A and B are shown apart, each in its own frame.
Chain A
């Protein structure tokens, strides 16, 4: 096992897939000469040259659409958004072209494309630069949405995403790019899309959390442990398709569920998980499902407000105790 930063694991996945398949190319703002705004693509221009690692103007709609046209022609573009906040400029392309092409053409034109980049809040950047897009993009049939929490999952899932014949939104995290973790040495390491990971086993409460929220949740589990509560943590890894079976099995064991999600609460990943669990495991629930999300507000700037905004260890502990009817 090698220890890699998240950015290195993502780079390794892209590099391996570009070595393996000449139809794969990387395109986005600052990916080539600048070596990546967050150094994810560092060195890739030198290795693959400017025909396959391609700088773009600041024109997200344009280069996202270009990628879709190339994908319809059988290439496998990796389109990097410097952050997914900027994917909103390309929204029509991501949600109305990429996922609909196969359907509208009766199966004649697929769209094997990966849109990737950092998602979610990244410190005090204000409202326009702090969007969590996973719930939004999961609302569009035809898209798949992946949001890994660690380098190993990132590598295995990104390689699978690049090989997938469907359009994939692959959500990273600016604040996690430096996160180190063990990554499999397998020569061709692929993880299945749509499979959750039981990250921590426990008996008293199930907590579902992905991406950055997963790490906050792991800390909350330690706090709960100190008070004698055993939390089971499930990292869905893929948001769409959601591995609801793994979540249901856990709920049938613990009978209690908290969902942590950095998406805004209305129509969030948390609300979808909650709905599916009540629909399929109502009789197994001993308490209402609670969710820990930001408030239904834009992301603020001031440090105290930002602390209030993000899901916190304290909120997760509090919600967990509530579903266990434990004293606060």
Chain B
């Protein structure tokens, strides 16, 4: 997290304290500051100084980092018994989406399909850092992973992808619009950046009600080029909202590399503009994500919004139709060699928590669970034709133009 040295140095009172060669000014500043503490009246007027300090303003800023392989599970208050469920949580996302790809090719799934494969540690590490069902989560359109990680039913999710009435959004949302109110999963949003203000609003509601719940707001590196990013962080900053802005930087906004379109590609640093603590975590290690999210959630519960960039990588194209030719040769293989699921599997074996054979058994169970999800989706019906008019308005007798 960024320390506050920079803030101290740009505070007008401190600026006046800086050596200026003008002893009178120094003396005046001290007097003023003493008087301020005693009688500072309340009011909506500006506190900002227009006395410009001599000499340059320098800043020293620290950002916390959460690299891969730094953290062990016991340091994160995770028990041995948490590890296999964590692995299950990640594996379910991957096996589910591998089948999604197949189901798309078989034309069971239509529309856009953005796969999360490669990024599972971000969702799982985050979900293990919140109070599931009390804290809120909102994300962008690459939403299957976080939905499943939060415990959304795979069958219900697959049914949504199939456009069936038993889908999580009743067949009206599709891949990009997963929602689950019971889990406080606020979607699934497909206009890049447009849900960041919504996340601020969800956090606002937590605060308004006097709860100590928080909102995790996920978005991609592409969203950070939108104006909505700036507006949401500024609002969160001025209202002290309990929110963690989590940038899942998977390196590409569709096919455009992050450093081609961001003047400051160290995205975590952007949060400094809003006086927020900012960190950088590895998305190739679920423990790094978990530690980072826990630290940031603690800030949010204290009313301190913050910015967390998680560097991750998507193995698939932007969507199912993208062959991802923009990658450098060898890039994908290099990232895959750091795969977060493999890393956790090796960790579990090395720790003696489970043997390879138990992990294989778990994997087989999950594969079957996904096949069951497909069967559920197959057996579910498409929505009735009349459903087109349902859920447009809360008003039951709305007079539609037919």
Q: Which of B53-61, B167-175, B302-310 touches A?
A: B167-175
Q: Which of A89-97, A219-227, A295-303 touches B?
A: A89-97
Most buried by B among A62, A71, A194, A276: A62
User: Which residues on B sit within 8 Å (CB–CB) of A59?
Assistant: 231, 234-235
B179 x A108 contact (CB < 8 A): yes
Given contacts A103-B392, A104-B187, A69 and B180 within 8 Å (CB-CB): no
Q: Which of B100-108, B289-297, B394-402 touches A?
A: B394-402
- Assembled-state Cα–Cα distance A142/B136 (Å): 25
B177 x A104 contact (CB < 8 A): yes
User: Which residues on B sit within 8 Å (CB–CB) of A109?
Assistant: 179, 181, 186-187
Cβ of B67 < 8 Å from any Cβ of A? no
Given contacts A33-B44, A74-B205, A66 and B194 within 8 Å (CB-CB): no
User: Which residues on A sit within 8 Å (CB–CB) of B171?
Assistant: 106
1/0 per residue, CB under 8 A from A, across B375-402: the answer is 0000000000000001111110011010
- Chain A, residue nearest B228 (CB): A61
Cβ of B127 < 8 Å from any Cβ of A? no
B198 x A63 contact (CB < 8 A): no
Given contacts A106-B167, A166-B394, A92 and B200 within 8 Å (CB-CB): no
Most buried by A among B44, B173, B401: B401
1/0 per residue, CB under 8 A from A, across B182-197: the answer is 0000111101001111
Cβ of A110 < 8 Å from any Cβ of B? yes
Interface size on B, residues (CB 8 A): 50
Cβ of B202 < 8 Å from any Cβ of A? yes
Cβ of B227 < 8 Å from any Cβ of A? yes
- Assembled-state Cα–Cα distance A283/B205 (Å): 54
Partner of A62, one of B188, B205, B235, B395: B235
Given contacts A65-B194, A68-B198, A70-B204, A103 and B172 within 8 Å (CB-CB): yes
User: Which residues on A sit within 8 Å (CB–CB) of B191?
Assistant: 92, 96-97
- Chain A, residue nearest B173 (CB): A104
- Assembled-state Cα–Cα distance A144/B394 (Å): 11
- Assembled-state Cα–Cα distance A17/B272 (Å): 39
Given contacts A56-B235, A59-B235, A106 and B202 within 8 Å (CB-CB): no
- Chain A, residue nearest B206 (CB): A73
User: Which residues on A sit within 8 Å (CB–CB) of B238?
Assistant: 57
Partner of B169, one of A57, A65, A106: A106
A61 x B392 contact (CB < 8 A): no
Cβ of A49 < 8 Å from any Cβ of B? no
How far is the CB of A155 from the nearest CB of chain B, in Å? Answer: 21
Given contacts A102-B394, A104-B187, A105-B187, A62 and B181 within 8 Å (CB-CB): no
A102 x B197 contact (CB < 8 A): no
- Assembled-state Cα–Cα distance A55/B359 (Å): 54
How many A residues are at the interface, by size bracket? 35 or more
- Chain A, residue nearest B189 (CB): A97
User: Which residues on B sit within 8 Å (CB–CB) of A97?
Assistant: 189, 191, 194-195, 198
How far is the CB of A163 from the nearest CB of chain B, in Å? Answer: 11
B392 x A194 contact (CB < 8 A): no
A62 x B234 contact (CB < 8 A): yes
A66 x B201 contact (CB < 8 A): yes
User: Which residues on A sit within 8 Å (CB–CB) of B195?
Assistant: 65, 97
Which residues of chain B in 138-159 are interfacial with respect to chain A, using CB atoms and an 8 Å cutoff? 138
- Assembled-state Cα–Cα distance A165/B398 (Å): 12
Cβ of A107 < 8 Å from any Cβ of B? yes
How far is the CB of A232 from the nearest CB of chain B, in Å? Answer: 22
User: Which residues on B sit within 8 Å (CB–CB) of A102?
Assistant: 391-394
User: Which residues on B sit within 8 Å (CB–CB) of A71?
Assistant: 201
Cβ of A202 < 8 Å from any Cβ of B? no
1/0 per residue, CB under 8 A from B, across A59-89: the answer is 1011111111111111101000000000000
Cβ of A178 < 8 Å from any Cβ of B? no
User: Which residues on A sit within 8 Å (CB–CB) of B199?
Assistant: 69
How far is the CB of A28 from the nearest CB of chain B, in Å? Answer: 13
How far is the CB of B243 from the nearest CB of chain A, in Å? Answer: 10
- Assembled-state Cα–Cα distance A149/B137 (Å): 42
Cβ of A185 < 8 Å from any Cβ of B? no
1/0 per residue, CB under 8 A from B, across A39-60: the answer is 0000000000001001011010
How far is the CB of A248 from the nearest CB of chain B, in Å? Answer: 13
Cβ of A177 < 8 Å from any Cβ of B? no
User: Which residues on A sit within 8 Å (CB–CB) of B374?
Assistant: none
Given contacts A65-B228, A66-B197, A67-B201, A106 and B235 within 8 Å (CB-CB): no
User: Which residues on A sit within 8 Å (CB–CB) of B204?
Assistant: 66, 69-70, 75
- Chain B, residue nearest A113 (CB): B201
Cβ of A241 < 8 Å from any Cβ of B? yes
B394 x A105 contact (CB < 8 A): no
- Assembled-state Cα–Cα distance A69/B170 (Å): 21
A96 x B194 contact (CB < 8 A): yes
Most buried by B among A101, A106, A107, A112: A106
How far is the CB of B99 from the nearest CB of chain A, in Å? Answer: 22
User: Which residues on A sit within 8 Å (CB–CB) of B399?
Assistant: 194, 241
Nearest first, the 4 A-B pairs at minimum CB distance are A69-B201, A65-B197, A62-B231, A106-B170
10 further interface pairs, Cβ-Cβ under 8 Å (given A77-B201, A109-B179): A57-B234, A59-B235, A62-B197, A64-B197, A65-B198, A72-B202, A73-B205, A105-B187, A166-B394, A276-B401
Residue pairs across A and B with Cβ atoms less than 8 A apart, 5 shown, are: A65-B231, A66-B198, A97-B191, A102-B394, A142-B392
